[in-house]
A and B are shown apart, each in its own frame.
Chain A
Amino acid sequence: MTDLSTTYLGLKLKNPLVASASPLSKKLDKAKQLEEAGISAVVMYSLFEEQIIHESLELDHYLTRSSDTGAEAMSYFPESGTYSLGPDKYLEMVSSLKKTLSIPVIGSLNGVSRGGWTRYARRIQDAGADALELNLYYMATDPNLKSEDLENAQVELVSEVSSAIQIPLAVKLSPYITSLSNFAHRLVDAGAKGLVLFNRFYQPDFDLDELEIVHSLDLSTSAELRLPLRWVSILSGRTQADLAITSGVHTAADVLKGMMAGAKVTMMASALLQNGPKIVAPMLDQIQAWMKEREYESIQQMQGSMSQQAVAEPAAFERANYMKVLDSFRNLP
């Protein structure tokens, strides 16, 4: 029997297939199905501080905007005793998942305020999460904001959060960083025990009939694996942090590639959303079969085996595609 186990953020996982942050972790029964299907850990959907604030203010706005405005209608809604708003619902879910699942549960957080990041990180830890993934989603649209300042702020943030909690901390990154290797190192120095590559951004589209911006959810495809694959290969062996691939993991082959690049885990969301947990078991079988056929003993054996440091032609990861094409042409006999 080939050994599929791996470790990630100090957690022992039975295989490298981890469920990425997605709505699947919003439901206990769905999360349970993931576990039963063979998933080795669950990264929860993100707690968005901005959304919490927004929901809170919005509820307040609509409940109070129209209250005491006229003699007949003192209000338009019944006064409920309690609202499950803000982090409470999320934290309850962390606890419930921990109670229901035997696989590790990793919290995910996207904050907006300095205080918010550390406060919520601590509360997610206290609710029982095995680890925490920070989702550094930020659209830098301000022309006065220098990349250096933004990066410094994010590094400082990681440092603050990591010193505020005891559970391991991973950071989910955007690919749009000028010097990713450098930034990754700084994050690790600041306390990140894991780097998750990459955050997928839902990009707005245009409606040509209405001349409006439209938002739609496009799921990933295997083709999107290439970018994180490349960067994990580059970072593998050069950082102490555990690397994780998310984006474009759809097949057993994708997982194997990720492992060879140097990832400790590969995370799936689109594939699970599209096809349901039922795809996990066959994937694991295929991984097993592939490894058996090629006489791999363990996943750990192949982790990093095709990283930049391990391959014969390290430059392959650095050149642009067209260079490679030109080279190939020149080398023709």
Chain B
Amino acid sequence: MKRPVITIDGNEATASVAHRLSEVIAIYPITPSSAMGEFSDEWSAKGKKNLWGTVPAVIEMQSEGGAAGAVHGALQTGALTTTFTASQGLLLMIPNMYKIAGELTSTVFHVAARAIAAHALSIYGDHQDVMACRQTGWAMLSSGSVQEAHDFAAISQMATLKSRVPFLHFFDGFRTSHEVTKIFQLTDDDLRALIDEDLVRAHRARALSPEHPVLRGTAQNPDVYFQMRETVNPYYAATPALTQEAMDKFAQVTGRQYHLFDYVGHPQAERVVVIMGSGGETAEETVNFLVAKGEKVGAIRVRMYRPFPVEQFLKALPASVKSVAVLDRTKEPGATGEPLYLDVVDALVEGGRGNVKVIGGRYGLSSKEFTPAMVKATLDELSKPQPKKHFTVGIVDDVAHTSLDVDASFSIEYEETVRCLFFGLGSDGTVGANKNSIKIIGEETDNYAQGYFYYDSKKSGTVTMSHLRFGPKPIRAPYLIEMNQASFVACHQFTFLERVDMLKYAKPGGTFLLNSLYGPEEIWDNLPLEVQKDIVEKKLKFYVINGYEVAEKTGMGGRMNTIMQTAFFAISGVLPREQAIAEIKHAIEKTYGKRGEAVVKMNFDAVDATVSNLYEVKPGKITATKSRRLPVPAEAPEFVRNVLGQIIDADGDNIPVSAFPVDGTFPTATTQWEKRNLALEIPVWEADLCIQCGKCVMVCPHAVIRHKVYDKAALASAPETFKSMDSKFKEFPGMAYTVQVAPEDCTGCTLCVEVCPAKDKTQVGRKALNMAPQPPLRESEAKNWDFFMEIPDLDRKLVNPSTIKNSQLLRPLFEFSGACAGCGETPYVKLVTQLFGDRAVVANATGCSSIYGGNLPTTPWSVDSKGRGPAWSNSLFEDNAEFGLGMRLTIDKQHDYACELLAGFEKELGDDLVSAILKADQSTEAGIEEQRERVATLKAKLANSQDSRARDLVSVADALVKKSVWIMGGDGWAYDIGYGGLDHVLASGRNVNILVLDTEVYSNTGGQASKSTPRAAVAKFAMGGKGLPKKDLGLIAMSYGYVYVARVAMGANDQQTLRAFLEAEAYDGPSLIIAYSHCIAHGYDMAKGLEQQKLAVQSGHWPMYRYDPRLAEKGQNPLLIESKEPSIPVSQYAYNETRYRMLTQMDEARAEKLMAEAQHDAKARWTLYQQMAAMHYNGSENKEN
């Protein structure tokens, strides 16, 4: 039978089996496994049935802990149940995993294995998460490729039903999970042939039911717990054989035979590597290559890791083997070796093969590349008389000297395989087009095909790399295309030329395709020197297309996908040109057809316009005088230059261990050195119109537009084009004033222009800020920016922050983040840093804000001219409120301790100083500054004291200066996974400030519904529009009575926002600010974000208020509603956004019903708040009486 061939990634391959074999699926999104849950939800929403003809129930939970609980319950009541997770999510499932295993329950968890957060979070793949589960009593099956992930999803289900031992099926996150490749599909008939129906019914029969009630989950005492723990041993003993049986049956049905351990290599091998996961593919291919060259080497690919089948392992290992290198994709600090290594050592000793020499190595943490050269280096190590007993491979460890030397030039890539590399922007559609290309090649030709996509961690201006391989031989290369290996390199964005060294990947004689702003005649002289040299020296064929022009003419806007894809097919000749164009058009119809004829036509037009605009350029002589720009300027600090700069230059892999801090600590204020130069247009200030309101400064998401009041004398050394006007601040008469833009940091979002209220009376379209093309302004404005930054900031003591314009004179200590252009969150974060940054400690929940705030290479958290600034940390997603509370506890404790100590130092310090410190009023900037001076005096006076109490006092004295604790994160954290902790922290009464950046959806992981998602909005896991209203977090917090609560929307009322932030911080107790944050996940023009915030408020969707418990103490109602009675229907706000509008296009009747209900929600909420605000509070009067 000819089997269907499909081109998909590992997540889809796994989910397609898991969905068909499940009745209940409970999940929580986490990268890189989210897509498995999303596919399942999408399929169920579309009515796709499982093997038994019913649609699986899919539910999104509030956390992985919750998902595991729901899975456990569903299993206990007899459903075939699964979940998908990774990393921290899997760790949260561990408690339930023990239970599920202890109760011998058949289930499979599918895990896209990922690094865990230790010194840093990483979304990339390794086995640290799954290895943390090896003690839970779950069987563990490891797949190493997309095909295997598909197959093992079925095999693990077969085996768990048979053995009753739960199975953890895992594959490498951000390799297998995201690699798109051509596989044979398991049909429903295949699955029917594989799954034993009697076992399914037996699983159901074990379920809890009041019809035949039992008790499961007892508590036990010393007398019996132990014995009962031992009852399961026979099941574990039987599991390996049952799994092999399942593999054998699978082979009968599909022809693909797997074993618990698959040995590959020389039958009389002497040196063998043992490895699991996708690295096994690389090991297998390398070993085959080396054996063909006559080497006696082999590899054992571990499929079943738990229960570790010692017997089968020994059988798989040839008797000739003298030495073994075990490769673990995990790290267990302090252990005598990593887990797989220890298991192998134990197996050899127990099996009487203790004479085999074993060494253990770590590789591939956080998707670190694992290449054939590294396999060879490992095998070579075994040949050495004194191999490193414990080693690393793939890094340069110049500290503990664990790393092996790797010959980077070693390659086993087939000559026949075509390797292509595409550099694009996240927003230009390059990745999507390449996914299409791989499907076309995989499904329309006899070629094998593989695609893998790499993204940097910025949310605006993301650089993407698409790695495509195809050819007549099977492709088993789960690693990126290496240097000098790409036969085709395409640059989809002209500006990359000045900062990305992409031709280092090009193979001599290969092809380079450039999306060029210049035509074939002019381009050569406009290339940077290095590019010209590479083209000439590597004898590259060079093609250009002005994709920008084609895109403009055909309505494609910024999307280069279709154009560059067509150009690729036209040049590469992988298909005859006519056929290629037909296939591209077919793919366009398939992908975009349901979005309407116009979309298809636009893409067709782009295809047709491409070929006639594609030119081959004959390289000329080396004429360039300009070189590529340095990754960071030469004047950057050493660490930035030597370490962060190398990361920015996409060369982080080559940084040695010694260059890094040992504990994950990094300097702040580093984004200033990473000039990303993203904006095509930037705002230009027109001083003649400016009213100096500061609104532009307030809303700028990237802190790239600032204003300053300064001494006119500073202008003496101003650059020629620097603009200035007289200050209109009544507090600062006679001074100069400037609004300045950072041209290379601006993202061109236009929010500042949108918010600017100053219009030209003769031409209202002209404002005090207008967008203008950036390139001609870049150099001069960069100089102006540098000059502007050198002008001293005003003394904070002189600035009264209670008005917008004055507050915006305070320097932002959060700048140039990688957030989306026009981000709705960052203006709030920035405001915190302006108002309190020099004394703030920030606990940041995992999410968008932790990524744009803390993802290497650089951080936007910054410092003021005195070197003070926010101290920032991210613990986890679920615990952020508690994490921040802990910070508060320390600060309070150390403050108290310092006060206690102070009492004993009146003599040394003087009564006055001690008394002044203890009684200091730190409610104003001046008060805080004075306290800082007192503490400095204290430290100076005690500096030379040997008294241990004095030294203690010095070590905690900083706690005497007011600290501001900010706990911030998104709605996924605050409403869902972190809610329990958040509630507890609010209830604690402690002085913390909680800022919820409410985008009403999980933004960072790609648009999953949270409990903040409003009714009628479409999100993942709410595909038919959310049917229930948004949780009212503020109302819940108000119920405590002693929590300061504010609901704000900067775009609707910036003054109210400012007031809320100031009050929240001043309130000596818990404060909660819920901030409306427009987001790319809402699907609308981000430039209109502020306007949309206004509509949200006017419609009653987002009522604004402040709830100040201090008012209740005065006998006043604490709730002040600060928005007017809803004046427009919710639909007028909502239908500006795709998240709502798409429901009208998907299911109009439901959209209408939900919108009517959403309207009712808004009205009901308004009425309730009105009544609350009208309540009479006379508590204090009563107390008086």
Interface string of B1046-1088 (1 = CB under 8 A from A): 0000000000000000000000000000000000110110000
Q: A59-B1141, A59-B1142, A64-B559 are in contact. List 18 more A-B contacts (CB 8 A).
A: A53-B598, A56-B597, A62-B1084, A63-B1142, A65-B1080, A68-B426, A69-B459, A69-B462, A70-B457, A71-B455, A72-B1004, A73-B1003, A76-B1003, A76-B1007, A77-B1019, A78-B1019, A81-B594, A85-B596
A211 is an interface residue with CB less than 8 A from chain B: yes
Determine if B41 and A78 form an interchain contact, defined as CB atoms under 8 angstroms apart.
yes
B97 to chain A, nearest CB (A): 25
CA distance A68 to B1004 in the complex (A): 13
Kindly report which residue of chain A lies nearest to residue B48, judged by CB atoms.
A81
Of listed B174, B559, B597, residue having the most chain A CB within 10 A: B597
B1023 is an interface residue with CB less than 8 A from chain A: yes
CA distance A78 to B429 in the complex (A): 18
| Chain B residue contacts of A3, Cβ below 8 A | none
Q: 9 tightest A-B contacts by CB? A: A56-B596, A69-B426, A73-B1006, A76-B1007, A68-B431, A62-B1083, A62-B1138, A53-B598, A76-B1081
**Given A59-B1138, A73-B1004: A78 touches B45 (CB 8 Å cut-off):** yes
Using a CB–CB cutoff of 8 Å, the interface residues on chain B facing chain A are: 31-32, 34-35, 38, 41-42, 45-46, 123, 174, 426-427, 429-432, 435, 453-455, 457, 459, 462, 464, 555, 557, 559, 592, 594-599, 602, 759, 764, 851, 1001, 1003-1007, 1018-1021, 1023, 1080-1081, 1083-1084, 1138-1139, 1141-1142, 1145-1146, 1148
Query: Which residues in chain A, 118-156, are within 8 Å of chain B measured between CB atoms?
Result: none
A84 is an interface residue with CB less than 8 A from chain B: yes
**Given A64-B559, A68-B432, A71-B123: A76 touches B1083 (CB 8 Å cut-off):** yes
A57 is an interface residue with CB less than 8 A from chain B: yes
Determine if A83 and B1020 form an interchain contact, defined as CB atoms under 8 angstroms apart.
no
Tally inter-chain residue pairs, CB-CB below 8 A: 145
| Chain A residue contacts of B559, Cβ below 8 A | 64
Give the residue of A57, A68, A83 whose beta carbon is less than 8 angstroms from that of B435. A68
A48 to chain B, nearest CB (A): 13
Determine if B1083 and A82 form an interchain contact, defined as CB atoms under 8 angstroms apart.
no
Determine if B595 and A68 form an interchain contact, defined as CB atoms under 8 angstroms apart.
no
Of listed B1001, B1139, B1142, residue having the most chain A CB within 10 A: B1142
Interface string of A51-95 (1 = CB under 8 A from B): 011011111111111111111111111111111111001000000
CA distance A68 to B429 in the complex (A): 7
| Chain B residue contacts of A64, Cβ below 8 A | 429, 432, 559
| Chain B residue contacts of A78, Cβ below 8 A | 38, 41-42, 45, 1007, 1018-1021, 1023
CA distance A58 to B709 in the complex (A): 43
B553 to chain A, nearest CB (A): 15
Determine if B1080 and A66 form an interchain contact, defined as CB atoms under 8 angstroms apart.
yes
Determine if A211 and B759 form an interchain contact, defined as CB atoms under 8 angstroms apart.
yes
Query: Which residues in chain A, 100-129, are within 8 Å of chain B measured between CB atoms?
Result: none
B632 to chain A, nearest CB (A): 23
CA distance A84 to B457 in the complex (A): 36
A-B contact pairs, 6 of them (CB 8 A): A60-B596, A63-B1083, A68-B453, A78-B1020, A78-B1023, A211-B764
Determine if B45 and A85 form an interchain contact, defined as CB atoms under 8 angstroms apart.
no
Determine if B1146 and A57 form an interchain contact, defined as CB atoms under 8 angstroms apart.
no
CA distance A70 to B1001 in the complex (A): 17
A325 to chain B, nearest CB (A): 40
Determine if A77 and B429 form an interchain contact, defined as CB atoms under 8 angstroms apart.
no
Kindly report which residue of chain B lies nearest to residue A86, judged by CB atoms.
B596
Interface string of A33-56 (1 = CB under 8 A from B): 000000000000000000011011
Kindly report which residue of chain A lies nearest to residue B599, judged by CB atoms.
A60
For chain A, give the interface size range: 35 or more
B1145 to chain A, nearest CB (A): 4
Of listed B34, B559, B764, B1138, residue having the most chain A CB within 10 A: B1138
| Chain A residue contacts of B1005, Cβ below 8 A | 72-73
Specify the main secondary structure of chain A where it touches its partner.
Answer: loop
Determine if B1007 and A77 form an interchain contact, defined as CB atoms under 8 angstroms apart.
yes
Interface string of A14-38 (1 = CB under 8 A from B): 0000000000000000000000000
CA distance A59 to B594 in the complex (A): 10
| Chain A residue contacts of B1003, Cβ below 8 A | 73, 76
Give the residue of A59, A74, A85 whose beta carbon is less than 8 angstroms from that of B1006. A74
CA distance A67 to B1018 in the complex (A): 16
Determine if B594 and A83 form an interchain contact, defined as CB atoms under 8 angstroms apart.
yes
B1006 to chain A, nearest CB (A): 3
Determine if B1007 and A75 form an interchain contact, defined as CB atoms under 8 angstroms apart.
yes
**Given A73-B1007, A75-B1006: A57 touches B598 (CB 8 Å cut-off):** yes
CA distance A70 to B1080 in the complex (A): 13
| Chain A residue contacts of B598, Cβ below 8 A | 52-53, 56-57, 86
CA distance A7 to B149 in the complex (A): 70
Query: Which residues in chain A, 229-282, are within 8 Å of chain B measured between CB atoms?
Result: none
| Chain A residue contacts of B432, Cβ below 8 A | 64, 67-68
Determine if A85 and B1145 form an interchain contact, defined as CB atoms under 8 angstroms apart.
yes
Give the residue of A60, A62, A84 whose beta carbon is less than 8 angstroms from that of B1146. A84
Of listed A56, A69, A77, A212, residue having the most chain B CB within 10 A: A69
| Chain B residue contacts of A85, Cβ below 8 A | 594-596, 1145
Kindly report which residue of chain B lies nearest to residue A88, judged by CB atoms.
B596
| Chain B residue contacts of A74, Cβ below 8 A | 35, 1006
CA distance A84 to B595 in the complex (A): 9
Kindly report which residue of chain B lies nearest to residue A65, judged by CB atoms.
B427
Determine if B462 and A63 form an interchain contact, defined as CB atoms under 8 angstroms apart.
no
Of listed B426, B464, B764, B1141, residue having the most chain A CB within 10 A: B426
Determine if A57 and B602 form an interchain contact, defined as CB atoms under 8 angstroms apart.
yes
| Chain B residue contacts of A56, Cβ below 8 A | 595-599
Give the residue of A67, A72, A83 whose beta carbon is less than 8 angstroms from that of B595. A83
| Chain B residue contacts of A84, Cβ below 8 A | 1145-1146, 1148
Kindly report which residue of chain B lies nearest to residue A71, judged by CB atoms.
B455
Determine if A77 and B1083 form an interchain contact, defined as CB atoms under 8 angstroms apart.
yes
**Given A59-B595, A78-B41, A84-B1145: A69 touches B1018 (CB 8 Å cut-off):** no
Kindly report which residue of chain B lies nearest to residue A68, judged by CB atoms.
B431
Kindly report which residue of chain A lies nearest to residue B1081, judged by CB atoms.
A76
CA distance A80 to B1018 in the complex (A): 10
Determine if A70 and B599 form an interchain contact, defined as CB atoms under 8 angstroms apart.
no
Determine if B599 and A57 form an interchain contact, defined as CB atoms under 8 angstroms apart.
yes
CA distance A83 to B1018 in the complex (A): 13
CA distance A201 to B687 in the complex (A): 40
Interface string of A209-242 (1 = CB under 8 A from B): 0011000000000000000000000000000000
Kindly report which residue of chain A lies nearest to residue B455, judged by CB atoms.
A71
Determine if A77 and B592 form an interchain contact, defined as CB atoms under 8 angstroms apart.
no
CA distance A59 to B457 in the complex (A): 26
Kindly report which residue of chain B lies nearest to residue A49, judged by CB atoms.
B598
| Chain B residue contacts of A59, Cβ below 8 A | 595-596, 1138, 1141-1142, 1145
| Chain A residue contacts of B1019, Cβ below 8 A | 77-78
Determine if B31 and A72 form an interchain contact, defined as CB atoms under 8 angstroms apart.
yes
CA distance A56 to B596 in the complex (A): 5
A136 to chain B, nearest CB (A): 21
CA distance A78 to B555 in the complex (A): 25
Determine if A63 and B1138 form an interchain contact, defined as CB atoms under 8 angstroms apart.
yes
Kindly report which residue of chain A lies nearest to residue B760, judged by CB atoms.
A211
A237 to chain B, nearest CB (A): 44
